[in-house]
C-alpha cells in the first residue's frame, strides 16, 4: 500500500468511512455505504465521485491540432473551442493504446483526459508521435489537477446552486470555465454513468473545498458520495468500455463497437491503415451484451459457451441493480453477437444460460426528463 498514490481527497474518503482499494496505481474508494445504495443514488438523485486519478495531457502550439489529428481516431480540427470528443489513441497495428476524451481549449491548444493506469504510457506515446517540439509542446499536468464527477438527474440543480454559469445551456460534450463555490473550475458535461452529469476539473489544492461544498449543497436532496464499485455497475449498464477489459493494445476500436468514434474514411491517424486491413480481413470476434437467465454472476474472464464449446470470454460482468439481473459484455464470434442468441457463461464449472441483448442495457438519461432540485 505504501507505493500507491493518493488523490487530494484520500483523507476525506477515510473520514466518510470509505473502503479503500487499489485501482490504476492509486488508493481509491470502492464504496462508502453499499454499491447498491450508491448506484441507486446516481440513477434516482445524484452521486459524487472522486476521479482525480485520471490524467490530463496538454498539447499547445501552432501544430497542436494537426498533431492531435494524427494521434486520435476522432476528428479534432473540426472540434469547436469549448467542445469535447471521445476517441482512441491507436498503435501501428491498430490496437488501442488508450481511450480518451479530447477537450479543445483554444485554436492552438487542447488536452486529453486519459485513464489513470495509462498516464505514463500515453504521455510517452504522445511525445514520441506528436512531431517537432517547436510546433507542439506536450505537457503532463496530471499531478496538478483534481477531478470530481457529479452525476445523476439532480446534478444540474445541485451544481447550479454553487455557480453563476448557465448550466441549462451547457450541451452534452461541451465545457465552460467559471467559478464553482468560489473555485476556478472547468465544467464539462460528458459522463461515464449513463446519467446526466458534470465533470469538474480544478487545481488539486482546491478539490477538498469543492467536494465539501457539493456535499453540503446536495446532501439535503439525497446526493451521496459514490465509489468505484457503483461507477463500474453504472458504466456497465450503459455498456461503456473500460480500458483493460473491453479495450487494450491488441484490440481495435472497431472490434469493440466504437466505429462512430473512428474517422476511418478520413484517415490520417496512427493505426488507420492497420484498422482498415483488419476490417477487410474480417474481425474474428465481436463485443456482445448479454443477460443471464439463471441465478449467478458473470465476471471478467469467465468462458462463453455455445453448443458445448468455449467460444469467447466475458470482459465485464456484474449484477445490474437497475434490472435486478446479472449482465455482462463478452467477446464472441461475430455470428453469435446477434440479439437473441442463446449462450452460456461457465461459472465455477456450471454453464449458466444467457442471451444476447442490444446495448446499452439501461437507456441513457434524457436531459429533458431530469428532475429539478
Query: Is 333 in contact with 288 (CB distance < 8 Å)?
Result: no
Q: Where are the domains of the chain?
A: 5-52+144-237, 284-357
Distance CA 283, CA 195 (A): 32
CATH, range 5-52+144-237: 3.30.1360.120
C-alpha closest to that of 15 among 312, 260, 236, 215: 215
Helix (H, G, I), strand (E, B) or coil at 29: strand
What pLDDT score was predicted for residue 3?
85
What pLDDT score was predicted for residue 364?
74
Low-confidence ranges of the chain (pLDDT < 50): 1, 368-373
Distance CA 295, CA 217 (A): 40
- Say what the alpha-carbon torsion angle 156, 159, 161, 162 is, to the nearest 10 degrees: -160
Looking up cell 464449472 gives: 349
Using CA atoms, how far residue 43 sits from 131, 139, 365, in Å, is 44, 36, 9
Strand 47-50 and strand 224-225: pairing?
Answer: parallel
Q: Using CB atoms within 10 Å of the CB of residue 17, give its burial: 0 to 12 exposed, 13 to 18 middle, 19+ buried.
A: exposed
C-alpha closest to that of 11 among 50, 64, 40: 50
- Name the pTM for this structure: 0.95
Q: Using CB atoms within 10 Å of the CB of residue 161, give its burial: 0 to 12 exposed, 13 to 18 middle, 19+ buried.
A: middle
β-bridge mates for residue 197, sequence order:
151
What pLDDT score was predicted for residue 366?
52
Angle between helices 119-129 and 64-71 (to 10 degrees): 120
The CATH number corresponding to 284-357 among 2.60.120.10, 2.40.30.110, 3.40.50.720, 3.40.640.10 equals 2.40.30.110
Amino acid at each position: 500500500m505504501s507505493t500507491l498514490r493518493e488523490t487530494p481527497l484520500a483523507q476525506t474518503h477515510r473520514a466518510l468511512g470509505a473502503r479503500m482499494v487499489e485501482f490504476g496505481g492509486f488508493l481509491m474508494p470502492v464504496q462508502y455505504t453499499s454499491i447498491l445504495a450508491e448506484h441507486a443514488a446516481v440513477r434516482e438523485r445524484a452521486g459524487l465521485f472522486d476521479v482525480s486519478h485520471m490524467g490530463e495531457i496538454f498539447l499547445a502550439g501552432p501544430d497542436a491540432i494537426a498533431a492531435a489529428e494524427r494521434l486520435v481516431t476522432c476528428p479534432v480540427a473540426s472540434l469547436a473551442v469549448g467542445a469535447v470528443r471521445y476517441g482512441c489513441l491507436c498503435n501501428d497495428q491498430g490496437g488501442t493504446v488508450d481511450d480518451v476524451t479530447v477537450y479543445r481549449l483554444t485554436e492552438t491548444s487542447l488536452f486529453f483526459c486519459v485513464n489513470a493506469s495509462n498516464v505514463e504510457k500515453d504521455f510517452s506515446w504522445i511525445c514520441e508521435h506528436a512531431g517537432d517540439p517547436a510546433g507542439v509542446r506536450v505537457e503532463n499536468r496530471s499531478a496538478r489537477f483534481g477531478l470530481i464527477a457529479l452525476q445523476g438527474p439532480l446534478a444540474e440543480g445541485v451544481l447550479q446552486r454553487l455557480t453563476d454559469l448557465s448550466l441549462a445551456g451547457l450541451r452534452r460534450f461541451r465545457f465552460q470555465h467559471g467559478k464553482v463555490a468560489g473555485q476556478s473550475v472547468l465544467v464539462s458535461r460528458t459522463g461515464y454513468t449513463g446519467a446526466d452529469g458534470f465533470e469538474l476539473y480544478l487545481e488539486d489544492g482546491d478539490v477538498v473545498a469543492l467536494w465539501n461544498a457539493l456535499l453540503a449543497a446536495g446532501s439535503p436532496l439525497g446526493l451521496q458520495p459514490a465509489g468505484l464499485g457503483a461507477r463500474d455497475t453504472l458504466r456497465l449498464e450503459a455498456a461503456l468500455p473500460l480500458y483493460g477489459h473491453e479495450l487494450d493494445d491488441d484490440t481495435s476500436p472497431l472490434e469493440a463497437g466504437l466505429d462512430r468514434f473512428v474517422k476511418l474514411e478520413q484517415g490520417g491517424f496512427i493505426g488507420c491503415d492497420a484498422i482498415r486491413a483488419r476490417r477487410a480481413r474480417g474481425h474474428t470476434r465481436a463485443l456482445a451484451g448479454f443477460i443471464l437467465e439463471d441465478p449467478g454472476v458473470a465476471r471478467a474472464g469467465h468462458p462463453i459457451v455455445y453448443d458445448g464449446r468455449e467460444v469467447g470470454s466475458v470482459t465485464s460482468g456484474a449484477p445490474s441493480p437497475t434490472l435486478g439481473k446479472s449482465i455482462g459484455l463478452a467477446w464472441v464470434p461475430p455470428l453469435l453477437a446477434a440479439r437473441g442468441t442463446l449462450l452460456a457463461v461457465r461459472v465455477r464449472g456450471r454453464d449458466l444460460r444467457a442471451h444476447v441483448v442490444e446495448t446499452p442495457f439501461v437507456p441513457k438519461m434524457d436531459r429533458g426528463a431530469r428532475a429539478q432540485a
